[in-house]
Amino acid sequence: MDDAVELPISRRDLLIAGAVSAAPAAALPAAAPPQDCAAAAPGVPSMKVAFEVNGLGRALDLDPRTTLLDALREHLRLTGTKKGCDHGQCGACTVLVNGRRINSCLSFAVMHEGDEIVTIEGLGTVGALHPMQAAFVEHDGFQCGYCTPGQICSAVGMLAEVKAGFPSHVTADVSAPKVKLTDEEIRERMSGNICRCAAYPNIVAAIREVAEGGRQ
C-alpha cells in the first residue's frame, strides 16, 4: 500500500482559514426586506379627490401617484377594468371620462376632480345590456374576455368620436361633415385595443352592427 500523501497544510490550518474567510460575510448587516413600492413614501402627503363613477359620487383620499386604474380597482373595487400592460399599450384599462375614452393606467386619479367616469360596470347590467355589450355577445367578439371591457368601452367612445365628426389616420376626406365608417376606419380607430385571442373580425362585426343601428 502506498504511503499517504502529506498535504502542504494541516487540517487544523484549513479550518482556521475557512473560518477567517467567512468572518467578514457574517459581520455584514442583514439585507433589508423588500418594500411595497405601492405604499406611500414617508413624507408624501395624501390628496383628496372627488368624482362621479358610474353615476355615483365618490370621494377618495389617495397617494397622489395613484393611477385612475388603481383607484378604480383597488380602492373602489371596480375590477371590470383590467390591468394589462400598465404602459398604455394594450387598451385593457380603457374607461370613459366625460364621454371620452382614455387609458386609465396613464392618468393619475387626482387629475380627475369633478369628472364623470364610466367603467364597464356602468354601461349596462346583466338584465339590460348596453347595445355594444349585446353585440359583442351575439358576434362572439371575445374569447378569454380579458380585453373585452376595454374593447367595449373603447368602441362606445369611438362611435361617439365618429358621430362628432373626428377624422382618423385613414379618413379619406377629413373635411367631410360625416365620417364613413368602413371596416378600415373601425380597425384603425380600435388599433389601441389589443386582443391576444385575435377576435378582431368579430369585434369589427359587433361594432358595425351597433354603428348601423342594428341594436338600440
Residue 22: what pLDDT?
38
Residue 3: what pLDDT?
53
Residue 194: what pLDDT?
97
Assign 215 a pLDDT band (cuts: 50, 70, 90): low
Inter-helix orientation angle 148-163/131-138, to 10°: 120
CATH superfamily of 46-123: Beta-grasp domain (3.10.20.30)
Q: Where in the chain is the domain with CATH 1.10.150.120?
A: 124-216
Task: Give pLDDT tens digits for 147-202.
Answer: 999 999 999 999 999 999 999 999 988 888 888 899 999 999 999 999 999 999 99
Grid coordinates representing 58 are 365618490
CA–CA dist 142, 163 (Å, integer) = 25
List all residues 6 or more positions away from 193 whose beta carbon is below 8 Å from its beta carbon.
Answer: 90, 91, 92, 94, 147, 150, 151, 154
CA–CA dist 207, 136 (Å, integer) = 8
Q: Where in the chain is the domain with CATH 3.10.20.30?
A: 46-123
Residue 20, pLDDT above cutoff 70: no
Report domain 124-216's class. Answer: mainly alpha
Residue 175: what pLDDT?
86
Residue 37: what pLDDT?
39
CA–CA dist 139, 155 (Å, integer) = 14
Task: Give pLDDT tens digits for 40-65.
Answer: 556 778 999 999 999 999 999 999 99
pTM passes above 0.75:
yes
Task: Give pLDDT tens digits for 77-118.
Answer: 999 999 999 999 999 999 999 999 999 999 999 999 999 999
Closest CA to 132 of 116, 115, 118: 118
Residue 176: what pLDDT?
85
